[in-house]
Amino acid sequence: MKILYVDLGGVAQYNCDKMAGRVNVWADLNVKVSILIPKFLKTKVLENDIQGKVNKIYAWYSAGEFKSALGISFIYWARFFLSFQTLFRRGNFDIGFSNSPVVVDIAPILWLKIFKRCRFWVLMIDSIVPHPRMRAGSPLINYLTYYEAKLVQYFAKTFASKIFTVNVELKNSLVNAGFSPDSIFISKNGLFLDRIGPLILDNKIYEAAYMGRITENKGIFDLLNCWQLVVTERPLAKLVIMGTGRGDVVKSFIAKIDALCLQKNVVYLGYVDNSRKYEVLKQSKIQIFLSKVNADESWGISLMEGLACGLPSITCDLEIYRHVYDAGVLITVPIGDIYSAHERVNHLLNNDNYRDSLSRTGIKFSSRFDWTNIAKIDLAQIKELLND
């Protein structure tokens, strides 16, 4: 079996991890896998040991990091229009696998299918883009991503052989959008449990940690407001933050740290690679993840990684989490309620036994989601297409 795995639109570490989780296992099972990625992702992918296993890495055009919404939009759509270059690569494929429901991840495979160079197309739809009025951030990017999602769904209903998604709520949304229930398979995201390891560090440097995109919809500014309340009672408390985002949002985020006088209480590390992020998480007591747009969450990889590292996690009460996490695994607060979040933080930090109990619960729950098992199940679903 020959698979082309496409991730031209992904910039977040979790997209690289999704690719690595599946591709490493598939390659070990003697599947010939090629990956198509932009150049700037090459370093992140190499962290995941893919290069030695894939048939070939296609390094794709990238113009580096853009600071403006207009610049991001320009290079994004440039990749779409240049995607026909995939046709000039060598070889045919049995399966084209799109890592995300974005135009640049589906365009190369559509070209291959049109010219009969790819037999089946599998698309991962792990989120439904909400209407722009439901999201903060750049109106231009919000409208572009919204209508892009509509376009992707149109092509997927016409050409895709199978849709992968990650929870029941998303499957129901796709069925309501006109997809056949028989074409949808509920997969999962996973963790590299062998890299996380069983060790829980005793020397806690940080009271709390956040790992994820620096964006309004992830509740990053609510997090800072909540931490200001924590610091009024715990002047030495430290919050470590890992992640990147659009340049203007990161700039506003750093400015807010200064405006709230949290320079000594917030440690912003930016992007942290796999070799370091688990160590940072294990040096923290709890995790705070106040993402507040239900459609922006599909499974919560950062949350699950925090649980696997032994961090009790405080989140907003999003419907999507109820389809992934068992009751009692997460501590939830109303969306945008920083005062309730502050109360939960204090309660956790003041009660070592309660915190330790939740830590054990999170580690046990997250142990279900090892990439090795998930990728094998996914591959069995893909093989069914070839056997029909």
CA–CA distance, 132 with 135 (Å, rounded to integer): 5
Q: Give pLDDT tens digits for 135-188.
A: 766 777 778 778 888 999 999 999 999 999 988 888 999 999 999 999 999 998
- Name which residue leads in pLDDT, 132 or 125: 125
Please check whether residues 182 and 213 belong to one and the same domain: no
Q: Is the pLDDT of residue 201 over 50?
A: yes
pLDDT bin (cut points 50, 70, 90) of residue 59 is: low
Please check whether residues 57 and 17 belong to one and the same domain: yes
Q: Which of 60-74, 167-181, 308-322, 334-348 has the lowest mean pLDDT?
A: 60-74
pLDDT bin (cut points 50, 70, 90) of residue 309 is: very high
Please check whether residues 185 and 202 belong to one and the same domain: no
What Å distances lie between residue 332 and 16, 28, 228, 312, CA to CA?
Answer: 28, 39, 19, 11
Q: What is the mean pLDDT of residues 232-253?
A: 93
CA–CA distance, 300 with 298 (Å, rounded to integer): 6
pLDDT bin (cut points 50, 70, 90) of residue 341 is: very high
Split into its structural domains, the chain has a count of 2
The count of other CB atoms within 10 Å of the CB of residue 236 is 8
Please check whether residues 133 and 201 belong to one and the same domain: no
Q: Is the pLDDT of residue 63 over 50?
A: no
- Name which residue leads in pLDDT, 43 or 250: 250
Identity at 232, one-letter amino acid code: T
Q: Is the pLDDT of residue 302 over 80?
A: yes
Count how many residues are written for the chain.
388
Q: Is the pLDDT of residue 123 over 90?
A: yes
DSSP 8-class letter at 2: E
Instruction: Report pLDDT for 327.
Output: 92
CA–CA distance, 17 with 126 (Å, rounded to integer): 14
Please check whether residues 265 and 360 belong to one and the same domain: yes
Q: Is the pLDDT of residue 68 over 80?
A: no
Q: What percent of the chain has pLDDT over 90?
A: 55
Q: What is the mean pLDDT of residues 200-227?
A: 92
- Name which residue leads in pLDDT, 72 or 100: 100
The count of other CB atoms within 10 Å of the CB of residue 273 is 11
Instruction: Report pLDDT for 343.
Output: 97
Q: Is the pLDDT of residue 235 over 60?
A: yes
HEC string for 218-247: HCHHHHHHHHHHHHHHCCCCCEEEECCCCH
pLDDT bin (cut points 50, 70, 90) of residue 42 is: low
CA–CA distance, 76 with 70 (Å, rounded to integer): 10
Q: Is the pLDDT of residue 259 over 90?
A: yes
Please check whether residues 291 and 376 belong to one and the same domain: no
Place of tokens 């709890």: 286
Pairing of strands 266-270, 93-98: unpaired
Domain that holds residue 377: 2-190+370-387
Q: Which of 6-20, 90-104, 157-171, 192-206 has the lowest mean pLDDT?
A: 6-20
**CATH number for the domain that contains residue 34:** 3.40.50.2000
Please check whether residues 143 and 198 belong to one and the same domain: no
Please check whether residues 280 and 169 belong to one and the same domain: no
Place of tokens 């990684």: 305
- Name which residue leads in pLDDT, 293 or 330: 330
Q: Is the pLDDT of residue 382 over 90?
A: yes
Across the chain, mean pLDDT equals 87
Q: Give pLDDT tens digits for 1-31.
A: 999 998 876 555 667 788 888 998 999 999 9
Q: What six digits make up the tokens of 195?
A: 């890299």
Q: Is the pLDDT of residue 281 over 70?
A: yes
Please check whether residues 361 and 212 belong to one and the same domain: yes
* DSSP string of 118-173, one letter each residue: EEEEEEE----PPPGGG--S-HHHHHHHHHHHHHHHHHHHHH-SEEEESSHHHHHH
What Å distances lie between residue 30 and 2, 24, 48, 383, 386, CA to CA?
Answer: 10, 10, 18, 13, 16
Please check whether residues 77 and 225 belong to one and the same domain: no
φ and ψ at residue 38, rounded to 5 degrees: -75, 160
Instruction: Report pLDDT for 38.
Output: 74
Cβ-in-10-Å burial (0-12, 13-18, 19+) of 198 comes to exposed
pLDDT bin (cut points 50, 70, 90) of residue 128 is: confident
- Strand order through the sheet with 313-316: 266-270, 239-242, 206-211, 284-289, 313-316, 331-333
Instruction: Report pLDDT for 5.
Output: 92
Please check whether residues 238 and 263 belong to one and the same domain: yes
Please check whether residues 152 and 120 belong to one and the same domain: yes
Contact between 126 and 189 under an 8 Å Cβ cutoff? The reply is: yes
